[in-house]
Chains A and B, each alone.
Chain A
Amino acid sequence: ILNVEQSPQSLHVQEGDSTNFTCSFPSSNFYALHWYRWETAKSPEALFVMTLNGDEKKKGRISATLNTKEGYSYLYIKGSQPEDSATYLCASSNTGTASKLTFGTGTRLQVTL
């Protein structure tokens, strides 16, 4: 059973601050790592799917990196805005059950003016 951990659990930053969160996952038999953004009262929306060690993905002010050898991924937000307030989930799968994602409990980000 995969154990995906995210830190911190919650984060409160001011508008304009840059921030980052961590996702840790078992590195053995790694297959894919997903990041999702989940706004309150909405459903999770995919940000990135990464599979290769050293992968870096970017979407606007948000970017992510992947280290499959040591089992971690970072999500960065540059110049946080109030609309970035959401819970950020990561999920990983392994080669034995590539279709089966295990989610972390998320990092809840609050951006204030």
Chain B
Amino acid sequence: DAGVIQSPRHEVTEMGQEVTLRCKPISGHDYLFWYRQTMMRGLELLIYFNNNVPIDDSGMPEDRFSAKMPNASFSTLKIQPSEPRDSAVYFCASSFVSPWGVVYEKLFFGSGTQLSVL
């Protein structure tokens, strides 16, 4: 398996532009998470899905952020309009429910998207 695949690796855009980040989770994983990494706040959970359904989006900073998971193999995180304070590394991660009933095992992270909003 290729692991969690994110694209693009780097994105540089101007303030006000729309940004779309993409993620392909590991096949068979039930959960998909979007995290944001900043120096000030570390790794913050933005939103997560279970079986393609958004479960908790309380970490989404504001209405400019939206996320979708149209099928089990693809998710997007969109920022519209983007602002300089959105500059960060955005990680996608996936996981699964273990046979022992642990809600999920370890997270498998993608390589991240480094976003710079000028």
Contacts and interface: CB of A to CB of B under 8 A. Distances in A.
Interface of A: 31-32, 34, 36, 42-46, 49, 51, 89, 91, 93, 97-106
Interface residues of B, number: 22
Nearest to B41: A105
19 contacts: A32-B103, A34-B107, A36-B106, A44-B107, A44-B109, A46-B106, A49-B102, A89-B43, A91-B43, A98-B103, A99-B56, A100-B45, A101-B45, A102-B45, A103-B42, A103-B43, A104-B42, A105-B42, A106-B42
Main secondary structure of the interface of B (DSSP, over half): strand
Nearest to A4: B42
Contacts, number: 51
B107 A97 contact: no
Contacts of A91: 43
Contacts of A51: 102
B110 A43 contact: yes
Contacts of A98: 103-104
Nearest to A44: B109
